[in-house]
Chain A
Amino acid sequence: MKGYNFAYLDENTKRMIRRAILKAVAIPGHQIPFASREMPLPYGWGTGGIQITAALLGMSDVLKVIDQGADDTTNAISIRRFFALTAGVATTTHTAGASLIQTRHRIPETPLRQDQILIYQVPMPEPLYRLEPNKSAAMRLHALADYGAMHVKLYEDITRFGRVATAYNHPVMVNRRYLMSPSPIPAYDNPKLHRMPALQLFGAGREQRIYAVPPYTEVRSLDFVDYPFHPGRAQHNCSQCGSDDSYLDEVITDNDGGRLFLCSDTDFCQNRQKAAK
């Protein structure tokens, strides 16, 4: 597209972001500040993820964008088109065929490989922010690895609800050092973070933070010995492909309590349906 640099951002900005990414990879789970730019989409729509994608895209990359697992939602389509226009790169909806995957709130069901990069859109990078709203105090707690307060929150959940009640954005310890917010992915996806072959990058545009989980890094969900972490999913089969182990969305179909469950990962679901035919 004329008048714009390749992949929208100017090269100096990309270098700045790449430096932040390198730092983030060097200190797994640690939040690196970066000079987040204004992007042609509102905060909360993935301005962090899109800047990482822009900084990483090369001519030969194949890009996939998902929003809560789906390739066909407004947000996913717009971002995919944005890069098709500004970078002219190939796009795909196939997990296996993508070299870069930008995601909002899901990890694809299909296991990722070493040669792929998963880029998360993050609304709030600081896992401690509800417990310690003061940012410098929270940074101090990270520096001291003092995460007692986070466990207090889990303790309170068990005390009140009999179990850990976080269904999404369940905090994790990265490489036994930094407490990290996995972005609002369902707890069901948390185990996939652990020792994933693909590089995982997290971008928060409004909060101006980038963090990373390098390939094969240990990522443990916070829990108690006697109340182990339990990733939950709806106890149903996908109404489209019949899957009994994928993460399901619940869809209300009428006003009489009718509902159905279907895979949140549209690519995964379609592949299964095709294979079944």
Chain B
Amino acid sequence: MTWETMMGLEVHLQLATESKIFSGSSTQFGAPPNVQADAVDLGMPGMLPVLNEEAVRFAVKFGLGIGARIGRRSIFDRKNYFYPDLPKGYQISQFFSPIVCEGVFEVPMEDGSLLPIRITRAHLEEDAGKSVHDIFNQESGIDLNRAGTPLLEIVTEPDFRSAEQAVAYLKALHSLVTYLGISDGNMAEGSMRCDINISLRRTGSDVLGTRTEIKNVNSFRFVERAIHSEVERQSDILDSGGSITQETRLYDAERDETRSMRSKEVANDYRYFPEPDLLPIEIDEAYIDAVRASLPELPAAKRTRFVSEYELSDYDAALLVPDHATAAFFEEVVSLGGAAKPAANWILGDLSGALNRADLTIESSPVSAEALAGLIGRIEDGTLSSKLAKQVFDGLWQGEGATDEIIAKRGLKQVSDTGALAQLVDDVIAANPDQVAQYLAADEAKQKKLSGFFVGQIMKASQGQANPKLLNELLIKKLNDQS
């Protein structure tokens, strides 16, 4: 039996406001327990919510960013359930009339294609606090610092068929929200959390299977692994004639498996109803226009522009664009005179490798855009071979100065002097008569291969500084002269 995987994602995105969605408490991460929870956040008797304008603006930015319809009159509702990290016994959310309505988000896939994902809705709500289980013996500790942090919950249709698609969507979403400046999208700190709805259906059938929901998966890698393990679990059950129980599951990364959540055993009935402490949010055309005017260039437009303006491949553009800082670094290198294609190669190759090894972001790169542009210039004008350039790059990384200084200090200028090179070539030819004879006897294809031996010997003799292009020309000429 073959099964088709049907998945929809719900992403909880913490919005990067200074204060909470309904109170004036700070949203900063990492404070001691309960010092960033005021009377509103604690749900103290008589306290009332007052809506943060920035949370509304961020939600509208997101809606415009994915080309979704903005709810002109959106309404907050109470979602009722009991849990110790939910102070009021209800979460203020949006159920009936969300602020962002349907839209389509085009996700760039690795092969350069775009995967359209239907966004069902995105709504504003407040985050819950945290339960801490490892400090006390008999009890759990409740920290409500996070309670009231604004969240945008982004819900898709069940449009994903593979883990790869889901991860690509999450990466594209991460890129979009950081471009918009509405969230830091940090999955490790919980700024972006993902719930995955998974069901399987018989290939070719259009009847949806029973779904499970995997809650709070907190990295791209775990999303991929959680999906694989849950798909395997479900298909094993279905293959052996069993049926899937609709339930909430948790992904256990250590065991690489999903398991049923005990705390959700009591069937929930959220009893949504309009939040009487808040009034409808009305958003007019002028507001939307103003927000639209404030939007930066978004990843999709930037990819297109990089291809047309810098003649980059779709592949390079797709790699440079997602991280806003990387794209900016690239454009800075180019604006300082670095040629576009080599700039892309250096950034995506040596630079990003070195940054990864050093666990640095591009904003704190020891090699500045100016330095990289200088290096590329010296390659373009023939001063450096690509091999020597790597040594200069190393010098730039170590902070040994600008490109020209390093070339001088390390004596890395390539030998482009025809007389000096000719002498080297002559010496090597003279020292290896057997190889010369072999060369001359070979056919054209074989000659190409054999010439490598001489190039290697000459490079060695020049300590790597021979200009390879010039060397090749001289060598072929001189070898042919031997016949």
Q: Do A and B bind each other?
A: no
